[in-house]
Structure 1
Amino acid sequence: MRINLEPVGIIKKAGKCSEILIYSEFEQLIKNIAAKLGKNESTEQSLLIVHKNRDNNDIHQVQVTKINLIDRVGNILKVGKIDANDDSVLDVRLNE
């Protein structure tokens, strides 16, 4: 079964890290994450990123990656290195 999902952002390589650009129409997603981060005193948070699977031979259309959040500037989330570039992001969640 194929399901068509609308991406909320895109993953870009940025040196030794990756950046997740969340599209402006999904700004509420960033606001929700920021609100939850404000309540947590821990400086290092992990995120669950649901993104397009790079392996075309795999039957799974998406991949879930657990990654550490390094910084957030506006609608850009700087995270550890993800083995993805220009892949569509379908969802971002705090790993609580």
Structure 2
Amino acid sequence: MRINLEPVGIIKKAGKCSEVLIYSEFEQLIKNIATRLGNSDPAEQSLLIVHRNKDNKDIHQVQVTKTNIIDRVGNILKVGKIDANDDSVIDVRLNE
């Protein structure tokens, strides 16, 4: 079964890290994450990122990657390296 989902952002490689750009129409997603982080150090938190699976041989359409937050600037989350580039982001959640 194939499901069509609207992406909320995109993953970009940025040197030894990755950046998750959340589209402006989904800004509430970033606000929710920032609220839940509160005053804690973002580097102590991990994220679960649901994104498009780039492996065409795999029957799964999506992949879930756990990574650490390095920094947040506006609607860009700088995270640990993810094996993805230009992949659509479907969802981002704090790993609690």
Please tell me the TM-score bracket, short chain as reference.
over 0.9
Runs of 4+ in 1 over 3 A off after TM superposition: 39-43
Structure 1's 54 and 23: CA in aligned 2 closer, same or farther, altered over 3 A? same
Instruction: Trace 1:30-45 onto structure 2 (pairs within 5 A).
Output: 30-38=30-38, 40=40, 43-45=43-45
Structure 1's 77 and 41: CA in aligned 2 closer, same or farther, altered over 3 A? closer
Deviation at 1:85, TM superposition (A): 0.2
Over aligned residues, Cα RMSD in angstroms? 1.2
**Counterpart amino acid of 1:74?**
G
TM-score (norm 1): 0.96
In structure 2, the residue corresponding to 1:84 is in which secondary structure?
Answer: coil
Structure 1's 4 and 18: CA in aligned 2 closer, same or farther, altered over 3 A? same
TM-score (norm 2): 0.96
Aligned positions, number: 96
Give ranges in structure 1 of 5+ residues lacking alignment. none
How many angstroms apart in 2 are the aligned matches of 1:82 and 1:65? 7
How many angstroms apart in 2 are the aligned matches of 1:41 and 1:72? 11
Give ranges in structure 2 of 5+ residues lacking alignment. none
**Counterpart amino acid of 1:33?**
I
Structure 1's 42 and 76: CA in aligned 2 closer, same or farther, altered over 3 A? closer
Deviation at 1:56, TM superposition (A): 0.3
Give the structure 1 partner of residue 79 of structure 2.
Answer: 79
Give the structure 1 partner of residue 5 of structure 2.
Answer: 5
Residue deviations 1:16-75 (CA, integer Å, cap 9, x gap): 000000000000000000000015467411000000001001000000000000000000
How many angstroms apart in 1 are the aligned matches of 2:42 and 2:23? 27
Residue deviations 1:73-96 (CA, integer Å, cap 9, x gap): 000000000000000000000000
